[in-house]
Amino acid sequence: MSNVIAKNPVARHNYNIIDTLEAGIVLTGTEIKSIREGKVNLKDSYVNIKNGEAYVYGMHISNYEYGNIFNKDPLRDRKLLLNKRELNKLYGQIKQKGFSLIPISLYFKRNFVKMELGIGKGKNLYDKRQDMAKKDAEMKIRREIKEINQ
């Protein structure tokens, strides 16, 4: 990945990501300009497959300041660009019990905006607590090692 624009802060916290994949996204000119300014939010977004096509819902792209009448609805559904084989694979995986398709990050690849999608299973509350405790322990160990080395 290069030039990360936005990350979904709760994706890896709420889900165990099993597999990732890259998808293009259909955007308008004013949306691209707004994204280049970093005015995008993935926090409450999710992906669903409807009528053989993948769409991202809840992704907020703020209106472009100079867009006037060309601005679109900030929360509109946006189509993802995936080939038929990828769509069939994803559809089969998310139809299994408990699996979801979550946007993880949005980034530029050359001049195109790409979205990293994750296939994940929702975490239980005790899993989240366990991950936070593990992260805290690792941080304490790093801090101790840093103090010893100084």
Work out the burial of residue 51: count CB atoms within 10 Å of its CB; fewer than 13 is exposed, 13-18 middle, 19 or more buried.
Answer: exposed
Find the mean pLDDT for residues 43-69.
86
139 occurs within a structural domain: no
What's the pLDDT at 2? Answer: 63
Question: Would residue 150 count as lying in a domain?
Answer: no
149 lies in a domain? no
In a domain, 99, yes or no: yes
Output the pTM of the full model: 0.78
Quote the pLDDT of residue 72: 73
pLDDT score of 8 more than 70:
yes
Q: Is the pLDDT of residue 81 over 90?
A: yes
Two tokens, residue 21: 């994949």
Instruction: Say if 74 falls within a structural domain.
Output: yes
Spatial separation of the C-alpha atoms in residues 114 and 5, rounded to whole Å: 10
**3-class SS of residue 9:** coil
| 134 falls within a domain | no
Tens digits of per-residue pLDDT, 65-79? 787 777 777 778 889
Output the pLDDT for position 128. Answer: 77
**pLDDT computed for residue 115 by the predictor:** 92
Print the domain residue range for 8: 4-123
Q: What is the CATH number of the domain that holds 23?
A: 2.40.280.10
pLDDT winner (highest mean) among 94-98, 110-114, 146-150: 110-114
Q: What is the pLDDT of residues 116-142, one digit of tens each?
A: 998 888 777 777 788 888 888 899 898
Query: If you write DSSP's letter for every residue of 51-82 in order, what string do you get?
Result: TTEEEEES-EEPPPTT-GGGPPPTT--EEEE-
| 146 located within any domain | no
Classified as helix, coil or strand, 43 is coil
**Quick one: pLDDT band at residue 4, thresholds 50, 70, 90?**
confident
Q: Do residues 58 and 45 make contact, with C-beta atoms less than 8 angstroms apart? A: yes
pLDDT value for 104: 92
Number of domains the chain contains: 1
Question: At residue 46, does pLDDT exceed 70?
Answer: yes
Q: In this structure, is residue 24 part of a structural domain? A: yes
Evaluate whether 47 touches 54 at the Cβ level (below 8 Å): yes
